[in-house]
Chain A
Amino acid sequence: MDWTLIFIRAVEAGIGTEAVIYGLAAIGLNIHFGYTGLLNFGQAGFLAVGAYGVATTVATFGLPFWLGIAVGLAAAVLFALLLGIPTLRLRADYLAIVTIAAAEIVRLVVRSVALQDTFGGTDGLEAFSDDFYGMNIYAPGSYDIGPIGFDHRTMWVLTVGWVLVAIACTVVYLVMKSPWGRVLKAIREDEDAVRSLGKNVFSYKMQALVFGGVIGALAGFLFALSRAATQPDLFSTELTFFAYTVLILGGAARVLGPVLGAVVFWCLLILVKTGMEEAVNHQVITFITVNQVGSINYMLVGLGLILLLIYRPQGILGDKREIALDAR
């Protein structure tokens, strides 16, 4: 078995495109769920409106890239308002039901045959990322640090991605230590107490939903641009649940929780996957085939999430006293 290959793949995944995208998606979820206690199960929807915002504007309508970014952000804000206005006055569980459905509606709309001319149906859209890669600061070629290497396009995605992660984390850090963040944390615990102290709870929950949704849209931009294409089925419900796993693994209600969670999650996922593939290829494991490795890997994610919630609901960085997951 090639242990070096396994570790290189794992490290590459830990700092790679997926880790950045899921890190950003989970930072958004952290604002919703970690700090405010909003059960948003539709984070995939926010990524989708971001990705399709930029892709549709540029690829379908031939408009400038930056306008596409603006459309994506505006779409995320609008999506948050649409979700929030009917549900944020109700109990927390309603938001969970509505968000999971709304994210599916977004996915089904962009993959629909009727709107194929606009959104590209199941094939999705491509040819919208030229302007993005036109801004690339890296000359064509491969960039290697020891055995780990990325091509110039990936390097550009990662640079933009990690800068966005750094900015998002800084903003989250600043607002969460402010009185604004204090109101959110208080809402997470008891809305009525916060109302009785003269705070407009609905408005704060809406602000949190929009803020986290916009960060989700940033993840959506990166997702689409990194692949230079976008398909509807990238934004299925499992994206949201992976983002939750990332968040809980790293530690909810911690600024760096989602980032650490994303790095560790993708490292582990690829470590186990490549490890299993290598083991099968070298006949160390004989009762499964290489084709089954992917499915087994995702079963292990589910098992891992269950064990995590039972034995360490606060994740790596979290404070058990503060976490909203006090089921026990």
Chain B
Amino acid sequence: MHAETVNRKAEALAALASVPSEPGAPKPDPILVVDNVVRRFGGLTAVEVEHVEVQRGSITALIGPNGAGKTTFFNQLTGFDTADSGTWTFNGKPMNGVSAHQVARQGMVRTFQLTKALSKLTVMENMRLGAQKQRGENFFRALVASLWQPQEDEITIRAEELLERFKLAAKRDDFAGSLSGGQRKLLEMARALMVGPELVMLDEPMAGVNPALTQSLLGHVKDLREQGMTVLFVEHDMDMVRDISDWVIVMAQGAVIAEGPPDTIMADARVIDAYLGAHHDAPLTTAEAEEQLHQAEAELEAEIEEKA
């Protein structure tokens, strides 16, 4: 297990090693390819992405300041909102104009920034809901329990395994509404896995999660890659992005402004600019910070001397 862990991450990094750090850079094996997606709300252009690719089997972070259009972009890709123009393909299949449930069935499953655990269903029912091609979801077959019960049992076993992994097994029969914020995030992620996705799209998986659970959540995200899934996630916290992502895409004002491995991106002036905006003179490196500190000290000393 551990050997494989190293493997998948190494594979992803090796595949991305030769990719130039520039917006729209082509990837060796893209699972998702986006071209010229534009979404306007009245006069505001929320999303205007020229070209972006997501490498299969990698963990890709989508970062950017508030209002950069990350969630809107997510909504376009997953069919929850209609793009004004543009095309995108998933596994080579065109996905623009495909409805949200069809997108999920194709293997592109998302979670939401504001967690959508179904609080009036039990944790187990939430999980079962995620399973695809259920015979009992047809009205007429639903009338005859023997037609769907065997499949339901299989689904339940799979759900129990996932709940065990996500440390929610004890909550199995509780209403999802009784879970804590972090547990709901875990449930939502586990439920998404019930769909059997190839690409998991997590919209701010760490938002509102207490620090004790963050590490466990990060572990689960890494696990997804180990199991051969591709992860695209929106996040604010740069430390977490650095910790788990193989590749980072930066959005600002609707457009992709930078791409690259996490360390390159953290040092990119445009990114810092986009994030910090008004604080242009903020230190970028430790050396700069020290220099600024010295300067301030010198000024203070001069002031004190003047007074004396």
- Asked whether, in the complex, the Cβ of B110 is within 8 Å of the Cβ of A196, the reply is yes
- Asked whether, in the complex, the Cβ of B129 is within 8 Å of the Cβ of A174, the reply is no
- Asked whether, in the complex, the Cβ of A189 is within 8 Å of the Cβ of B118, the reply is yes
Closest to A201 in B: B101
- Asked whether, in the complex, the Cβ of B191 is within 8 Å of the Cβ of A174, the reply is no
Q: Which residues of A have CB within 8 Å of B101?
A: 195, 197-201
- Asked whether, in the complex, the Cβ of B195 is within 8 Å of the Cβ of A179, the reply is no
- Are A174 and B143 CB-contacts (below 8 A) given A179-B136, A180-B137, A193-B112? yes
Assess whether A282 is interfacial by the CB under 8 Å rule.
no
In the complex, per-residue mask of A176-209: 1 if CB is within 8 Å of any chain B CB, else 0: 0111111101101110111111111100000100
In the complex, per-residue mask of A41-60: 1 if CB is within 8 Å of any chain B CB, else 0: 00000000000000000000
- Asked whether, in the complex, the Cβ of A194 is within 8 Å of the Cβ of B142, the reply is no
Among A188, A207, A322, point to the contact of B139 (Cβ < 8 A).
A207
Assess whether B105 is interfacial by the CB under 8 Å rule.
yes
- Are A175 and B143 CB-contacts (below 8 A) given A197-B191, A321-B177? yes
Closest to A177 in B: B145
In the complex, per-residue mask of B97-132: 1 if CB is within 8 Å of any chain A CB, else 0: 001111011000111100011111100010011101
Assess whether A296 is interfacial by the CB under 8 Å rule.
no
- Asked whether, in the complex, the Cβ of A195 is within 8 Å of the Cβ of B118, the reply is no
Assess whether B152 is interfacial by the CB under 8 Å rule.
yes
* Residues of chain B from 194 to 239 with CB closer than 8 A to chain A in the complex: 194-195
Among A171, A174, A190, point to the contact of B116 (Cβ < 8 A).
A190
Q: Which residues of B have CB within 8 Å of A189?
A: 118-121
Q: How far is the CA of A181 from the CA of B132 in the complex (A)?
A: 15
A183 to chain B, nearest CB (A): 6
Q: Looking at chain B, what size class is its interface with the partner chain?
A: 35 or more
Assess whether A244 is interfacial by the CB under 8 Å rule.
no
- Asked whether, in the complex, the Cβ of B129 is within 8 Å of the Cβ of A182, the reply is yes
- Asked whether, in the complex, the Cβ of B112 is within 8 Å of the Cβ of A196, the reply is yes
Q: Which residues of B have CB within 8 Å of A190?
A: 116, 118
In the complex, per-residue mask of A197-239: 1 if CB is within 8 Å of any chain B CB, else 0: 1111100000100010000000000000000000000000000
- Are A182 and B100 CB-contacts (below 8 A) given A175-B142, A192-B116, A196-B111? no
Among A183, A186, A197, point to the contact of B104 (Cβ < 8 A).
A197
Q: Which residues of A have CB within 8 Å of B139?
A: 175, 180, 207, 211
- Asked whether, in the complex, the Cβ of B80 is within 8 Å of the Cβ of A192, the reply is yes
- Asked whether, in the complex, the Cβ of B104 is within 8 Å of the Cβ of A180, the reply is no
Number of chain A residues whose Cβ lies closer than 8 Å to a Cβ of chain B: 29
- Asked whether, in the complex, the Cβ of A179 is within 8 Å of the Cβ of B120, the reply is no
Assess whether B286 is interfacial by the CB under 8 Å rule.
no
Q: How far is the CA of A190 from the CA of B101 in the complex (A)?
A: 14
- Asked whether, in the complex, the Cβ of A198 is within 8 Å of the Cβ of B118, the reply is no
* Residues of chain B from 25 to 62 with CB closer than 8 A to chain A in the complex: none
Assess whether B134 is interfacial by the CB under 8 Å rule.
yes
Assess whether B138 is interfacial by the CB under 8 Å rule.
yes
B140 to chain A, nearest CB (A): 9
- Asked whether, in the complex, the Cβ of A174 is within 8 Å of the Cβ of B145, the reply is yes
Q: Which residues of A have CB within 8 Å of B78?
A: 196
Q: How far is the CA of A178 from the CA of B79 in the complex (A)?
A: 28
- Are A182 and B125 CB-contacts (below 8 A) given A196-B104, A198-B101? yes
- Asked whether, in the complex, the Cβ of A179 is within 8 Å of the Cβ of B152, the reply is yes
Assess whether B175 is interfacial by the CB under 8 Å rule.
yes
- Asked whether, in the complex, the Cβ of A186 is within 8 Å of the Cβ of B118, the reply is yes
Q: Which residues of A have CB within 8 Å of B110?
A: 196
Assess whether B275 is interfacial by the CB under 8 Å rule.
no
Q: Which residues of B have CB within 8 Å of A186?
A: 118, 121, 129
- Are A193 and B118 CB-contacts (below 8 A) given A179-B134, A198-B105? yes
Interface centre among B79, B136, B142, B144 (most CB of A within 10 A): B142
A residues contacting B by CB (< 8 A) are 171, 174-175, 177-183, 185-186, 188-190, 192-201, 207, 211, 321-322
16 pairs, CB–CB < 8 Å, chain A vs chain B? A174-B145, A179-B128, A186-B118, A186-B121, A190-B116, A192-B112, A193-B112, A193-B116, A194-B129, A195-B80, A195-B104, A196-B100, A197-B104, A198-B101, A198-B102, A199-B129
